[in-house]
Amino acid sequence: MRIGIFGGTFDPPHIAHLILAEEALNQLDLDLILWVLTPDPPHKQGQPISPLEHRLELLEAAISDHPRFELSRVDIDRPPPHCAVDTVRLLREKHPAAELIYLMGGDSLRDLASWHTPADFVLACDALGVVRRPNAVIALEDLETLIPGITPKVQFVEAPLLDIAASRIRHRIQAGLPYRYFLPTTVYRIIQARGLYRGSMT
């Protein structure tokens, strides 16, 4: 099997997440995408994040009708810190015969040298599925000098330009602006019913 690992806070999960995951599934010939909900990401320390139970309910609703999207509790069921290298190693133990392809955006690839033990992370992955936006320039040569061996592991996913971000959706909800069509219908209905993101996230 070829398994994509798609990690994030998903606060909330929106249609761009689903579109990019489907593009990765198709372009990288994946059998399955594991959606890894990160409770407390190291790179977002000090930033307000919604309670885990809310994000978990929303993510389960967002991916429930796709046969090749699956929620992974690999980070939920272990204590922090939740570093990507440990996530991949734990998933390797659960799927020893699979190829593991870690999905990330171009910005994350450019910042990869600042991650926890980036060389070990790259070694743990069979490939890196990097979402590349139209006209984006990614200097793999520079990264190769910082993380030797990364270049042959990068597989690009050509993605449409989607100017949608979870932070923008949260701000629209707080401001009372329309936001329905940024989200899967299942996610929108839960947010409406629960009154999520109405107050200031502090």
Cis status, amide bond into 13, omega within 30 of 0: no
Work out the average pLDDT over 89-111. 96
Task: Report the pLDDT value the prediction gives residue 44, as an integer from 0 to 100.
Answer: 62
Q: So where are the chain's domains?
A: 2-194
pLDDT digits (tens, 9 = 90+) for 28-57: 999 999 999 999 876 666 678 999 999 999
Sheet strand arrangement including 154-158 = 69-72, 32-37, 2-8, 99-105, 127-132, 154-158
Task: Please name the residues in contact with 160: beta carbons below 8 A apart, sequence gap of 6 or more.
Answer: 19, 23, 134
CA distances to 8, 161, 170, 195 from 165, rounded to whole Å, are: 12, 12, 9, 19
Which region among 21-25, 38-42, 100-104, 128-132 has the lowest average model confidence (pLDDT)? 38-42
For residues 108-135, one letter each, b for 16 or more C-beta atoms within 10 angstroms of the residue's C-beta and e for the rest, the string is bbbebeebeebbebbebbebbbbbbbee
Task: Report the pLDDT value the prediction gives residue 179, as an integer from 0 to 100.
Answer: 97
- Adjacent-strand bridge partners of 121: none
pLDDT digits (tens, 9 = 90+) for 135-169: 778 889 999 999 999 999 999 999 888 889 999 99
Q: Which of 156, 41, 149, 19 is nearest to 101 (CA)?
A: 156
Written out in words, the top-level CATH class of the domain with range 2-194 is alpha beta
Tell me how far apart the alpha carbons of residues 24 and 95 are, in angstroms, rounded to a whole number. 19
Q: Are 87 and 116 in contact (CB under 8 A)?
A: no
Return the structure tokens found at 3.
């398994």
